[in-house]
Structure 1
Amino acid sequence: MSAPAPGSPTTAPARRTWLWPLLAGLVAGITLRLVLNGRLDGRYETMMLSFVLLAPLLVGMVAVYVAERHVRRSWGTYAGVGAMANLIFVAGTLLTSLEGAICVFLALPVFVVIGSFGGLLMGAIYRYLKRPRQTLYGFMLLPLVLGAIENPHPEGRVERIERRILIAAPPAEVWRQLMTADAIRPDEVDAAWTYRIGVPKPLAGIVRQTPTGLVREVRMGKGIHFQQMSTDWRPQRYVSWRYHFDEDSVPAGALDDHVRIGGEYFELLDTAYTLTPRAGGTELAMTLDYRVSTAFDWYAAPLGRWLLGGQSETLLSFYRRRAEARHRPAAPPTSG
């Protein structure tokens, strides 16, 4: 049996380090991220579908292209290299401050999956096509070609979250907690994944009455502050809030630009609370309306429902604990 020609693929174990394939994928991803930064005539945003789908695909393809040049790899290796290269790429955007922790958390699952497919695609091109380099170059042009015709500002859609909880306290006490949520401790809201991934935790929500209605002043960590204006309310029964953000409500760096509250891609609209007397306490129902505007709402919308649904449940539990703690009768003194 003749020895394989120099430079041809073999089935021998990989003799080269994995450093270069992964580094090549990282460089390709960071370069594409720097090009698609929204500064080219308002186009080529990183929130466009042409980046979210094609960037991880290309990172996986480039990594496998470098890995496959001298040693034939397995199909499992193609997928693994594509996924690992994207993991490093996403981490690299965080370390270089191109993206914040929230965006990294939200993007990582879809980037890893698409990156695996990109690795498999490049492996198939190597095995069945004669010109892998030229094919890869063609794929590299796709984000620029498709980005030029893609709408960078989709209309978006309004979503609603509905949650309810039973509180062992009368409506008057529950209403009091809704109006005077002060000195909120981090451990009281830690269960919500929105806060675990980097959204600043709430610090206080204090209501004052004005000639035009109720106004709730909300303060969160990192200097975030905004108002909720009542659109309808009945004491101890119902209150509906409309969110109001000033230009300085979200200081620079407090949130990732792509998930900034009241920004182009995400906006809180209304929150309503309904108190219904029940046997043994009060049922507190909450509805939250918000807008999500991305080219990939098929991913962002259900992810938003999961995150905001969990946050709503955490806030309802917060009100329940505080209302029940104040309503709980003091234990009778023990006899000595």
Structure 2
Amino acid sequence: MNRNTLSFLLSLFAPVVFGTLMLYIFEAFDGWHLSDVMSIAFLFFVPFAMGVLNTWLASYAQSQRRDVSICLPWASMALFLLISMGLGMEGWACWVMIFPLFMVAGTLGGLTGRWMRRRQKHGKTYVSVLLLLPLFISPVEQWMGKIPGRYKAYTYIDIQAPKNRIWPLVTRVSNISAEENRAGITRWLLFPQPVRAELDKEGTGGFRKAIFTGGLVFDETVEAYRHEEFMRFTIKANPYDIPSTTMDEHIVIGGQFFDVLNGTYELEQLNESTCRLHLYSHFKLSTTFNWYASIWAGWIMEDIQDNILQVIRRRAEGR
């Protein structure tokens, strides 16, 4: 094995070891409120440091190739993903959502390492500082605290059926078969899928229970109600009742990062034969990177809502 091959293997695998070590450290000190995997310190500066290592440890000729500086970090990130999942340190859904951010940060790190290789003076010192930077930033980020944000997910569907046929399918949803369940991104992320919804009485104060696969249950209380027109309800999920195998701890609904607050159905008559069913919900995020997390959370909530609306339309139209 020649020297270039050894340099390439070192530059590929050393960042994986570094990332795994950082993941272990961040999770170990989470209970002390000194670090958090769901933080900019981990989600940006750790992959950035991994990217720097990729090009710093490669041979000089390899490090100066633009394609190597951009793409080699992606290979290390993928290996890191597989290892952390294999060790049970992180789940599939969580990794899929943060991987694009990892790729961007890793590429920036790779390009930075490429630039540093051209200026060897004090290079080792700078690399050492960059490797330790996540550990210095994390306590500061934890001290500053998470930034709560409230967001809205809105979906609607047009149904060729009268209101008196649609509304009973809105208030109560009987068992959804596998053939009816046509979720998109949530199924791909292995999220729980809707099973049924039960309501004890129609009207304000009614108790509604939305049941999903994997033991996920939402307790819903009707706050406002107009028959065949409007229903608003609060949503509460107890994260302690959700089996640990159902959702990753970092994205569990009702946990410290993500929670659904309420939902609203509105039924609008468009013409003699068509009604429009609106469904929107409000959810809360508490991270230091809500600008990124809100994109994924919005997609997930809209996919859940759209899937339920599709079920209601097919049933109301007799399909």
TM-score > 0.5, shorter chain as reference = yes
Cα offset, 1:71, TM superposition: 5.8
Cα offset, 1:119, TM superposition: 0.9
Q: Note if contact 2:33-2:139 (Cα within 8 Å) is conserved in structure 1.
A: no
Most deviating of 28-37 and 178-187: 178-187
1:294 and 2:284 are equivalent in the alignment: no
Seq. identity, %: 22
Q: Note if contact 2:220-2:235 (Cα within 8 Å) is conserved in structure 1.
A: yes
Q: What aligned pairs does 1:1-336 form with structure 2 within 5 A after superposition? A: 14-16=4-6, 18-37=8-27, 38-39=29-30, 41-68=32-59, 73-151=64-142, 153-209=145-201, 213-246=205-238, 248-279=240-271, 280-325=273-318
Whole-Å Cα distance in 2 between the matches of residues 191 and 273 of structure 1? 19
Cα offset, 1:73, TM superposition: 4.1
Query: 1:75 is aligned with what amino acid?
Result: R
Cα offset, 1:161, TM superposition: 1.5
Deviations 1:204-241 (A, max 9, x none): 11111289721111211111122111011122111111
Give ranges in structure 1 of 5+ residues lacking alignment.
1-11, 327-336
Query: 1:20 is aligned with what amino acid?
Result: L
Q: Could you say if the C-alpha distance between residues 241 and 71 of structure 1 is closer, same or farther in structure 2, counting changes exceeding 3 Å?
A: closer
Cα offset, 1:174, TM superposition: 1.1
Deviations 1:283-307 (A, max 9, x none): 1111110011111112111222233
Most deviating of 258-267 and 178-187: 178-187
Whole-Å Cα distance in 2 between the matches of residues 192 and 126 of structure 1? 44
Query: 1:185 is aligned with what amino acid?
Result: S
Cα offset, 1:260, TM superposition: 0.6
Q: Could you say if the C-alpha distance between residues 276 and 240 of structure 1 is closer, same or farther in structure 2, counting changes exceeding 3 Å?
A: same
In proportion to residue count, which structure has more helix?
Answer: 2
Q: Note if contact 2:173-2:196 (Cα within 8 Å) is conserved in structure 1.
A: yes
Query: 2:248 is aligned with what amino acid?
Result: D
Q: Note if contact 1:155-1:293 (Cα within 8 Å) is conserved in structure 2.
A: yes
> What is residue 331 of structure 1 aligned with on the other side?
none
Which protein shows a greater Rg? 1
Q: Note if contact 1:25-1:60 (Cα within 8 Å) is conserved in structure 2.
A: yes
Q: Could you say if the C-alpha distance between residues 210 and 240 of structure 1 is closer, same or farther in structure 2, counting changes exceeding 3 Å?
A: closer
Aligned partner of residue 200 in structure 2, secondary structure: strand
Q: Could you say if the C-alpha distance between residues 57 and 195 of structure 1 is closer, same or farther in structure 2, counting changes exceeding 3 Å?
A: same
Q: CA RMSD, aligned part only? A: 2.2
Most deviating of 283-292 and 245-254: 245-254
Whole-Å Cα distance in 2 between the matches of residues 136 and 233 of structure 1? 61
Whole-Å Cα distance in 1 between the matches of residues 33 and 97 of structure 2? 24
Cα offset, 1:156, TM superposition: 1.5
TM-score (norm 2): 0.91
Q: Could you say if the C-alpha distance between residues 190 and 32 of structure 1 is closer, same or farther in structure 2, counting changes exceeding 3 Å?
A: same
Q: Note if contact 2:63-2:114 (Cα within 8 Å) is conserved in structure 1.
A: no
Q: Could you say if the C-alpha distance between residues 68 and 165 of structure 1 is closer, same or farther in structure 2, counting changes exceeding 3 Å?
A: same
Q: How many residues align?
A: 315
